[in-house]
Structure formats: C-alpha cells, structure tokens
Amino acid sequence: MVISNIKTGYTIQALKGTDNIFSDSAVIVPVYKADVWDFSEKNPNGIKVFSFNVTRDAWYTLGIKDGKHQLMNRAFIPRNWEQNLYGTMWIPDYPRFTGMGAFILTRFGKRKLPAQPLATRYNLDNSLINSPRKDAYTATDVMIHIGGTYEFKVGYDVLGGSFGCFAFIPQHDVYATPQLAEQASINDDYDDTPSNREWTIVTNKILNLAFPEKKQIKVLIEYTDPKETYVPQKILAE
C-alpha cells in the first residue's frame, strides 16, 4: 500500500481530548489517496489494483484558552523520511467486538516506530494528554483502521478520530472543499451510512491479494510538507 500525499477532498473527524456529554466535537481534515499495489514474479514492477481514501491528521485539543481550543496535530510522522517503508500486522478484531480489523504498521517486526515528537505531552492544565507516548521519538501501534462514522455495536454509531493513525474514509464521506464538509455537518446527513461495509470490502480485497500466496503487506508513506498542513478553522458539534 502507498499512502500518498495526493489530497482527494475533505471529511469530518472526531476531535480527541474533549469530554463533551451531549455532543461530540469534530474538525474538518483533508483526505488522501491510498493505492494498493500487487507485486509478483510476473509483475515485478507491480500493478495498481485499487485505491481508497485515508486521513493522515490526528487533531487533539489541549484545552481552551481565551475561549478557543488549543489544537495539536498528533499525526504520525516518520523520524527519517528515508525510512518510510513499513511492514504490517493484521489485527482481525479492531475496534474490538465490531467484526472489523486493522493493519498495524511495524518496523523489523516490532510495533514501535521511530517518529518525530509531538509538540507537547501536556494539556493546558499540565495534566498528561490522553495516551501519551512513553518515548517522545517512538510511536506505538500506528494503524490503518476504520474511520468516518461507523457502527460500533448494533444501533450505536461512532464518529472516528485518531491518536496518530490513518483512518479509512468511504467515498460518500469525502467532500470537494472544507465548506462542503462543514455543510454536511450542519445538515447532519454525512453520517447516514456507516463505513463498516466499505472498510470490510477494502480489507478483504487486500487480504485476498496477500494471504493465499503468503505475500507480505507493506506500507509506504509518502512525504508531506508540514508547511502545507491544513489547520481546522472551526470546531464542529456533532
């Protein structure tokens, strides 16, 4: 798989770090193209089989100052961009009890990846952020997992967020502009179809390409310029 730096649109992502009782906070983030390639002896250069959409950003609020959320992007960024190829482990039950799975990125078979440090380990009130890294330069359990609005249990939908993973977004949840994504949030019509079924189709395609011939599933992450990071302009209430 190649997680590219090509934007395919924008979507709505849960904002982590909030503790709202009556509604979830969310932000608008870019969506990127991920390509699935198949390599074999007959096709050593690979054949692109299909593509899907993922988010790369992982916005987290450190708290509110002067009436505004102070945001930090917890996106996984390789420590060295010349070492941006990873192995994977398939986890067949993630999130737990949903019947779906996820790919965990590995390096030399381990789930600890060299990473650029986050801006801080602390919230504005000096408490530790949720799920802090034990080592600032090491990210653990970086995954490609389901995103968008998905059914967590029967009749209970969840808007996916991220602590530094890549989240699958179905095409019907991708919008051409941030403004259209915001309007979908206002209309409350973006979450009518859970992403479970489409994510299962994607993962089954990948597993069927790899498992029968015992192929390795690898992930290449393309470079993105941090200066071009889209910073959410509004906090949405979902």
Which band of pLDDT confidence, cut at 50, 70 and 90, is reported for residue 23?
Answer: low
Q: pLDDT at residue 108 above 90?
A: yes
Residue 21 has pLDDT above 60, yes or no: no
Phi/psi at 10 (5° precision) = -140, 155
Using the predicted structure, report yes or no on whether residue 7 has a pLDDT greater than 80. yes
d(CA 25, CA 84): 32
Give 88's strand partners: 105
Is pLDDT of 237 > 90? no
Instruction: Find the mean pLDDT for residues 178-204.
Output: 95
pLDDT value of residue 156: 85
User: Domain segments of the chain: what residues?
Assistant: 2-237
Question: Distance of alpha carbon 5 from its chain centroid, rounded?
Answer: 14
What is the spatial distance between Cα 138 and Cα 44, in angstroms, rounded to a whole number? 33
For the segment 135-154, the average pLDDT, to the nearest whole number, is: 94
Return the amino acid letter for 183. Q
Assign 20 a pLDDT band (cuts: 50, 70, 90): low
Distance CA 67, CA 9 (A): 29
Strands 166-169 and 219-221: unpaired
pLDDT band at 190 (very low <50, low <70, confident <90, very high): confident
Helix-, strand-, coil-residue percentages of the chain, each rounded to 5 = 15, 40, 45
**3-class DSSP assignment, residue 233:** coil
40-78 residues labelled b (16+ CB within 10 A) or e (exposed): eeeeeeeeeeeebbbbbbbbbbbeeeeeebebbbbbbbb
- Judged against a pLDDT cut of 80, whether residue 19 lies above it is answered with no
Between 21 and 206, the higher pLDDT residue? 206
Q: State the pLDDT at residue 150.
A: 95
Give dist(CA 200, CA 96) in Å, integer.
14
151-189 confidence digits (pLDDT tens) = 987 778 999 999 999 999 999 999 999 999 999 999 988
Which H or E run includes 55?
Answer: strand 47-55
pLDDT digits (tens, 9 = 90+) for 57-104: 999 999 999 999 999 999 999 999 999 999 999 999 999 888 899 999
**For residue 33, pLDDT beyond 90:** yes
Q: Which stretch of 13-17, 36-40, 150-154 has the lowest confidence by average pLDDT?
A: 150-154
In this structure, what are the phi and psi dihedrals at residue 174, rounded to the nearest 5 degrees? -105, 130
Burial (CB < 10 A; 0-12, 13-18, 19+), residue 26, is buried
Residues whose CB falls within 8 Å of the CB of residue 237, separated by 6 or more in sequence, listed in order:
20, 23, 24, 25, 26
Output the pLDDT for position 97.
84
Q: Is residue 196 very low, low, confident or very high in pLDDT (cuts 50, 70, 90)? A: very high
Average pLDDT over residues 26-44: 96
Binned at pLDDT 50, 70 and 90, residue 44 comes out as: very high
